[in-house]
């Protein structure tokens, strides 16, 4: 075994028997856990992302806080369901967290798996384009996200001239590292597809 880390779902419950009774408890204890893991010599601190559940759901504020409190440990997600994400805004958030962490961010992304709420991504304002499935939408969001990390993709007009959108992460080492991809409980093609896209 070369490296060891932990993966946390950040479960919380208001039960009096629980030591993690609120979302605030889950977030603050996750930061403390990462700090303690680094002190013990662990190599990675990773967090699940689940919506509509008493679990961790918004990774980037947590990753930024962990990055500010630690010095060496790798931090990341396993995994972010891209059906729920605005890829441009996610690139900015990821870039900011990576800069705070000094280039230690490693993201796992996914086209998604069944959630507690049917078609939950609709409640966050996302819908597949005509002829798309939710899986296709997740892949499309992931493609845009990876393109933006490379400084490609979306463009904006400034004073009549078209210029590439370059979020904060384009100044960080995140642009030079491949994001890990997973199916999130779904079929296998996405890891192979994005493994090819993110290599090189």
In the prediction, which pLDDT does 175 show? 53
Tell me which residue has tokens 């370059």: 166
Q: What pLDDT digit, counting tens, does each position of 97-132 carry?
A: 999 999 999 999 998 777 789 999 999 999 999 999
% of the chain residues with pLDDT over 90: 68
Q: What is the tally of structural domains in the chain?
A: 1
> What does the alpha-carbon distance between residue 184 and residue 172 come to, in Å, rounded to a whole number?
27
* Helix (H) or strand (E) run with residue 6 in it: strand 5-8
CATH number at residue 148: 3.20.20.30
Burial 35-51 (b: 16+ CB within 10 A, else e): bebbeeebebbbbbbbb
> What does the alpha-carbon distance between residue 75 and residue 101 come to, in Å, rounded to a whole number?
8
% of the chain residues with pLDDT over 70: 76
Range of the domain at 94: 5-197
Least Cα distance to 76 among 7, 148, 172 occurs for 7
> What does the alpha-carbon distance between residue 166 and residue 157 come to, in Å, rounded to a whole number?
13
């Amino acid at each position: 075994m070369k490296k060891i880390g932990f993966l946390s779902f950040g479960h919380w419950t208001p039960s009096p028997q629980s030591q993690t009774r609120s979302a605030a408890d889950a977030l603050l204890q996750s930061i403390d856990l990462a700090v303690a893991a680094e002190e013990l010599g662990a190599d990675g601190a990773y967090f699940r992302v689940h919506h509509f559940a008493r679990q961790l759901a918004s990774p980037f504020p947590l990753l930024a806080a962990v990055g500010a409190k630690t010095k060496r440990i790798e931090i990341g997600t396993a995994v972010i369901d891209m059906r729920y994400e605005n890829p441009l805004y996610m690139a900015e958030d990821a870039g900011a967290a990576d800069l705070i962490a000094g280039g230690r961010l490693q993201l796992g992304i996914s086209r998604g798996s069944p959630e507690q709420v049917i078609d939950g991504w609709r409640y966050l304002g996302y819908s597949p384009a005509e002829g798309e499935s939710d899986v296709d939408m997740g892949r499309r969001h992931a493609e845009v996200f990876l393109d933006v990390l490379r400084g490609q993709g979306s463009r904006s007009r400034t004073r009549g001239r078209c210029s590439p959108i370059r979020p904060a992460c384009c100044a960080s080492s995140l642009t030079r590292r491949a994001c890990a991809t997973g199916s999130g409980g779904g079929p296998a093609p996405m890891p192979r597809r994005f493994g090819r896209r993110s290599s090189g």
